[in-house]
Structure 1
Amino acid sequence: MYLNPNTSIFRKILISSIVTVLLGLCAVGLVISFYAKTYIVDSKSNEMIRQAKRVNLSIQNQPIPNESFKDLLLFFDQAYDKRIWIFDAEGNIVVTSSKDEVNAGKVVSEEVVSQVIRGEAAIWNQTEGLEEAMLSVAVPWGKDNNVYGGIVLHSPLKGMDETTAQLRETILWVTLFGIFFSFAVSSYLSWSITRPIKQIDKAAAKIAVGDYSDRIRINSKDEIGELATTINHMMEQLERIDQDKKKLNQLRHDFLANVSHELRTPLTAMLGFLEALQDGLIEEGARGKYYEIMYNETLHMNRLVDDITDLMKLENKEIHLVFMSVDVQEILSKLAFKFRPEAEARGTVIHCVMDEESPQAYADPDRLEQILNNLIKNAVKFTENGTIELRAMAVPSEECVLITVTDTGIGISPEDQGLIWERFFKVERGRPFQHKNSTGLGLAIVRELVELHNGSVRVRSELGKGSTFEVRIPLVQSAAANKQA
């Protein structure tokens, strides 16, 4: 990804890092330079004081300079590479280590003389009477408490200044290297920060326009990596919400379209019949048939409204069950008797298989009857010249009552088996016959009611061979045990 060098964060990190390193190294360099020079001067001064004291040890027994005295000073001058002066108690320079010295007879400052006479060493920078600046030290000349005068050693400051200058030059190069290194490190850090931020910004821009498909790919485990992970999780949630919203809108659209269709069909038929009756187009003897058709269409619309109302109440959690022990076989027998005439009219036989133990379910009796009523109604509707078997048995291992409704009807295709629980889905679409009284809401209500009982429902079917619906409702014993726990 292209990194814009004018990016605010990049510029701030780079400038702040370089300025920090530059100021830090400059400050350290100045401190080191100052203390290094002080250390060099102090070390040199202490060394010269020790050398001056050695000179004194050699001449302390000679209070009056003579020719051998000068030769001895010349020896020390060459040995120490220092210029040597000897002055008396009044500060007059009486002899020097250089043969062509022109300072003999001159006077040393009173401050230095008084300090030496007191037996103390003196240190100062000497420039007067010399060709170049010198570091000078003076120690007493004498033995024990007898001080004849002082011994002065001079060393050029030029060498020390050159050493300090070299040190400063080294510090300068280190500073330049530090700035270059700081630039490289800051550039990398800025890149490592701004690159993921740009990715986050790009993802945020896509979120703003409703695109949740992109993902931020950052492998770091730092705070930015955690932020990217959080945003990715947020995008997944938003994408899921958006898909659910689209699905909900589609369901709402389908719901309204299906309701309109289901209501328009009977209303259109009724309107046509009423207009025919009103215009006197139907003979008196045939009016009873038309009244019956309109009555059936009214019942169909009433059932549709009742089913929609039940489904909406279930989805809004507005239906409250009254749980008790329910004899499932008793309900199956009642419903078998209810649907037997309709089944026989279609050439179908209903068998109710009885279990000697008569399993007791923990359920709301009215809603359980509604569940089984819808399942048996579907079985009768889709089975001609066949059989329907109703069975209920306890399954202790699953702590439930297993209720099965098996028919030998037209069956359900594999692709439709996942859709039959949707509202207004009619498995008979495209079949050779239609069922006008179907609302397409029965199985949707069954699923909601079964889930409200903490149970489950499933279907096993094969085209042309029939279907089996299995409903599992908690046993009374297991439900009571769970309630006590």
Structure 2
Amino acid sequence: MNSLAKKLSVFFVGILLIFSTILAVTFYKTYEKNYYERYITSLETQAKSISNTLANSELFRGQGKNMQGGRGQGRMPGQSMHPMSGFNSIIKIVDETFLGDVLLVGRDDFANSNNVFDVEKLDVQSRALVEKSFDGKTSSDIFYNTFLEKNTVTVSSPVVEDGNIEYVILLNTNVDTVEMELSSIRNTFIFALIFALVLGMLLMYLLSRRIVAPIKQIEDVTNKIADGKFGELTKIKTKDEIGHLAQNIDYMSRKLEANKLEQDEIEQNKRDFTADVAHELKTPVAVMKASIESIKDGMTNAATKGEIIDQMYDEINLLERLVNDLLSLSKLENLGFKINKEEVFVNQVINDAIRSQRMIAKKNDVDIVFNDIENPMIQADYSLMKQLLSILINNSIKYTLDKKVLIETQIDRIIVENKGVKISEDSLKNIFNRFYKEGPEGNGLGLAIAKEIANRHGFRIEAISDVETTKFIVYFD
């Protein structure tokens, strides 16, 4: 039992470790994602602020106009070759106060001055961000910056002057800087995880010992029950799963004696079954023996011999039917027998069953009326369902008094009805038992086979009888 306690402890700690790790990693990754999102949002705000500061700067506005003139109209008198030098100090101040790299990016003749970089000289990812900003968008990304030779969080923002965009601000921060800020949070998660595991190991060990103690008690009781000492109780009254197990064992102990009596009854039923089979076989065998002896002793003439042969033929048919019914019942009661379920329309099966009983009905001058109100589709073994319905129809043909059998389909049931003598309550209780017969006809196995077929399909069958009618109903529920 100590081994079981250790196994339970290891199992519970393993589960705790897995779920704690998953929870910690998930929470940390979510926090990391949100942190980066907030960080990037902050950078975008700073980039926009710097862009607006540059755009609204008198130095920039003046230089921007000169630059526009320099692009298409030549330089104004007294201009220098690098008109951007007037606000280089602004970029320098921003670069020194910002924890990262600040780049002012232009293109063509707007670039290559002090602190102004040509967009074509940037790496591919930075150039993609800058191109979006030249279209008026503030954008961001995290990547390895080959221009700065490090992993960066990069944000680009357009510098808009009088509706024109000739420059873009690029803010680049080292990812390592962000990771350093996240490392303290990560360390906190790791410490909390280790603490939870240590505490969990202690609690799980104590819990395992508490679980094992009643199991040991249950083991002692089950050993006594195995030795035939019925009535031994665990006396465990807890409300948890082990308590329920103990209660079940106590219940089992009390029920074993009753089960023994039930087993004795089953054995008696087997003996009765054997006796019933022997009884059913005795009459036709005796008749055939007497008939054969008559022929053998030469006590019959030609006409009588023909009658005897016909009688023997009928008795052989009865024996064949009895054997076939016994085989069918035995096969259905075998849990290893697999039925072949498929989607079938109920009315099609009923029509086939009616056709199989048409000759018997005609011989008895009985009309079969089929009222196909519904035509439900069910999952069933076609041949077995046909056999079930044939049994019910055949039974109704035998006992109908008004020479009519009514069959009706509803969405959830089949009803086979005939007008006849009321079946008593005691007979209704036993009507589906093997070898139970109301009259001299048959062998008492047909309805037992029908019930077993219904059971194997998960259907329900019942017999209802009143003063005027008897109904056999098969429910599909």
Normalised to the residue count of structure 1, the TM-score between the two structures is 0.47
Which of the two has greater helix per residue? 2
Larger radius of gyration: 1
